[in-house]
């Protein structure tokens, strides 16, 4: 295939991935790597490099819109970025030392986990006040109340060490696999630290770009970021996610989330099998 043809194909696939990722909240990055490796036989190192860069683009683009709404907690995000950036550096260093097959297997497992967590019902039980450690670290805030005219709701964080550890793991996976690890970040905040949903999802999105930037420098230095491949991936995912965010208001997301989670689970099994067979 010519470069022009493959670029058009990659751009179209990335557009669809970014669109569905934004619509379902699963993020576009998770399907880019299987798409490139299984579909187009791109080396997994080039694939995770391109995917990581597209993650920075979508996260920063969406975060710009979210911070204005007043849900994003910049202090909580910054504090937890201590864990995610350190993890991301460790993950990127690890990526160079693990064989491609092993990375594919871990990737498949992470995909299955994120598809499962996306479908599982999550009870929301935000804490109105934080525990002593969280208060000392000022991990608290208030977010807009439900409905117009409602008073702002105060909230505080619980179980900070557990949340911090989960964030470290999210960082490692992000650096190792070139994904945003949004599902794990949200889990750390709304389930472990008992923060409100909207605060968790928007703060997670806000953190994804910084986490990814921590490993992107190492990827670039190692030669994982190929301009010819990353160009259509980054532009496609960015355009797709912007369109997806627009369409979100009109779409029936429930059915779509099931379908997309099914697609992700199928890709996960393919990745694991290919990794075990040494076919990547």
Partner 1 sequence: MRGWSDRSLQAAVGGILRFGVAAAALIVACGGAIYLARHGAQTAALGRFQGEPEELRTAAGILRSALALSGRGLIQLGLLVLIATPVARVAFSILGFALERDRLYVAVTVLVLSFLLFSLLGGGRL
Name the site residues for partner 1 (rule: CB under 8 A): 1-7, 41-43, 45-46, 53, 56-57, 59-61, 63-65, 67-68, 70, 72, 74-75, 78-79, 81-82, 85-86, 88-89, 92-93, 137-138, 142, 209-210, 212-218, 220-232, 234-235, 238
Nearer to partner 1, 152 or 262 (CB): 152
CB of 180 to partner 1, least distance (A): 12
Nearer to partner 1, 57 or 199 (CB): 57
CB of 9 to partner 1, least distance (A): 10
Check: CB of residue 209 under 8 Å from CB of residue 29: no
CA distance 104 to 110: 10
φ, ψ at 138 (rounded to 5°): 60, 40
CB of 258 to partner 1, least distance (A): 31
Closest CA to 54 of 86, 17, 88: 17
Check: CB of residue 21 under 8 Å from CB of residue 27: yes
Q: Is 71 helix (H, G, I), strand (E, B) or coil?
A: coil
CA distance 255 to 245: 17
Nearer to partner 1, 183 or 234 (CB): 234
CB of 124 to partner 1, least distance (A): 24
CB of 259 to partner 1, least distance (A): 29
Nearer to partner 1, 9 or 117 (CB): 9
Nearer to partner 1, 166 or 214 (CB): 214
Nearer to partner 1, 41 or 122 (CB): 41
Q: How far is residue 134 from each of residues 76, 124, 161, measured CA to CA in Å?
A: 10, 19, 10
CB of 95 to partner 1, least distance (A): 10
CA distance 156 to 136: 11
Collect all residues with Cβ–Cβ distance below 8 Å to 35 and sequence separation of at least 6.
13, 14, 17, 267
């Amino acid at each position: 295939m010519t470069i022009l043809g493959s670029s058009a194909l990659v751009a179209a696939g990335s557009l669809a991935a970014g669109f569905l990722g934004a619509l379902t909240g699963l993020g576009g990055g998770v399907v880019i790597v299987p798409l490139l490796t299984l579909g187009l036989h791109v080396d997994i190192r080039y694939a995770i490099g391109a995917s990581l860069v597209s993650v920075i683009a979508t996260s920063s683009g969406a975060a710009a819109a979210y911070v204005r709404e007043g849900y994003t907690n910049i202090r909580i995000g910054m504090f937890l970025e201590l864990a995610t950036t350190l993890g991301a550096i460790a993950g990127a260093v690890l990526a160079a030392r693990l064989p491609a097959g092993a990375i594919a297997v871990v990737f498949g497992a992470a995909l299955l986990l994120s598809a499962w967590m996306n479908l599982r019902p999550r009870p929301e039980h935000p804490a109105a006040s934080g525990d002593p450690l969280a208060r000392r670290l000022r991990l608290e805030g208030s977010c807009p109340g439900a409905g117009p005219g409602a008073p702002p709701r105060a909230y505080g964080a619980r179980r900070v060490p557990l949340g911090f550890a989960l964030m470290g793991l999210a960082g490692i996976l992000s650096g190792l696999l070139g994904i945003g690890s949004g599902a794990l970040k949200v889990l750390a905040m709304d389930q472990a630290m008992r923060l409100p949903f909207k605060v968790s999802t928007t703060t997670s999105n806000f953190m994804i770009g910084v986490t990814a930037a921590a490993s992107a420098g190492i990827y670039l230095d190692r030669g994982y970021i190929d301009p010819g491949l990353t160009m259509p991936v980054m532009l496609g995912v960015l355009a797709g996610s912007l369109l997806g965010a627009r369409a979100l208001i009109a779409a029936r997301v429930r059915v779509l989330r099931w379908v997309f989670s099914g697609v992700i689970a199928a890709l996960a099994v393919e990745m694991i099998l290919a990794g075990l067979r040494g076919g990547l």
